[in-house]
Amino acid sequence: MDAKTGDMWAMVALCGLLLAMQAGADQGDPEGGRTAVTPPPTLQTLPDLPPVLLATPDSFADEATYLNAKKTECQRLTDLSVAESDPLVQGRYMLAAANTMLSFLVEPACSRAFLSLDASAQDKRALHDVLDQVENLLDRANEVLAKVKPGDENKDPVLRSLQRASESLQAFHGALKTYLVEDVAEDELPSTRRHAASKLSPMLEDNDVRVVAAARFWQAVLRRGSSDPQRLLQLLRPVMADLASDSAHAFYSRLLSCRLLASSKEFVSADALLMQLETRCDQWFANEADRANAVRAVALFEMRVVADWYRHLEKDEEARAWCVERIKQITATHFSGDTNTVLRLSPAIPLLVTPDDRERGR
């Protein structure tokens, strides 16, 4: 057993000890029937979580440079669609542009929302603009593809493929818009989110594991808060199962499962699984930067679970003191240096349409 694994199991044992302490609180001392008298512990205040940033993708100096490059690519695809006369090619460019916008330009908002990181008013305005552009592109692409006359043995398979991709992109667009832009009454939001989640169901049978992982993840995200956490856990893959792909959705689904366990008050299990996930990052991420950012993402989720645990304990100040110290320890271990970045949820959805079919999956 290495030191890291030993520390993990020591922490699991300590979590169990905490529960035992909590269950035995206020019980009398069996020896002589006397009640044990101990001085009250010092009141502990939950510390603020450290500031966290999204990691900048490799080869880009900062997020602004990265997003500008993606905006340039989207504009290039849109311009190509305007210059085309063949409706099949024109529709492909439009769908590719819409796909790129959803995958990369909407991603920062998706990552920040899921990680509970603050977004500026400027970011929110830009998000509305991008989602409107995507909707417009998808509508125009459907109109263009409707002009393609069926019956051509060369074009028909391509047309059907693009039509299926368009349906998937519309479902993903509806899911992300519903999640990020709450433009309905509060009492209508749960049903609106469930409806958007149901539109993703056909993609759970897709042959592309990236599509399945993304659809499963966004369904669970949309249904969180209005569905039984245990039912949502059945939708997601087992936390310790090997990743089916290098998709960020597969990884973040594991973290979501731990938060769902905490929602069911299974704090010990959630915390223990998060500590195990940290060790699995060494196997799941070959790139050193991605691995470090993934570990910090796990650490961020563990702090949130421990904070939830702290709030649940209410009057058990001794156990709450442990939660405070645990958050301080995680902060010192993972966020005390110059780097405080975490893995992005990128791309927000897989690339289903590219200008050339040969580019798919690159």
Q: So what's the pLDDT on residue 355?
A: 82
Q: So what's the pLDDT on residue 9?
A: 42
Structure-token pair, residue 218 = 């966004």
Q: So what's the pLDDT on residue 45?
A: 86
Name the pTM for this structure.
0.85
Sign of CA dihedral 355, 66, 124, 195: positive
Q: So what's the pLDDT on residue 43?
A: 63
- Spatial distance between the Cα atoms of 248 and 246, rounded to a whole number of angstroms: 6
3-class secondary-structure state, position 54: strand
Q: So what's the pLDDT on residue 42?
A: 56
Q: So what's the pLDDT on residue 118?
A: 87
Q: What are phi and psi of 341, to 5 degrees?
A: -95, 155
Q: What is the dihedral of CA 207, 209, 214, 217, to 10 degrees?
A: 110
The DSSP bridge pattern shows strands 53-54 and 341-342 to be parallel
Q: What is the pLDDT along the chain (362 residues), one digit of tens a residue?
A: 444 444 444 454 455 444 444 444 334 343 444 444 454 455 678 899 999 999 998 889 999 999 999 999 999 999 999 999 999 999 999 999 999 999 999 999 999 999 999 887 778 889 999 999 999 999 999 999 999 887 776 788 899 999 999 999 999 999 999 999 877 677 788 899 999 999 999 999 999 989 999 999 999 999 997 778 888 998 898 888 887 655 789 999 999 999 999 999 999 999 999 999 999 998 889 889 999 999 999 999 999 999 999 999 988 889 999 999 999 999 999 998 888 999 999 999 999 998 874 333 33
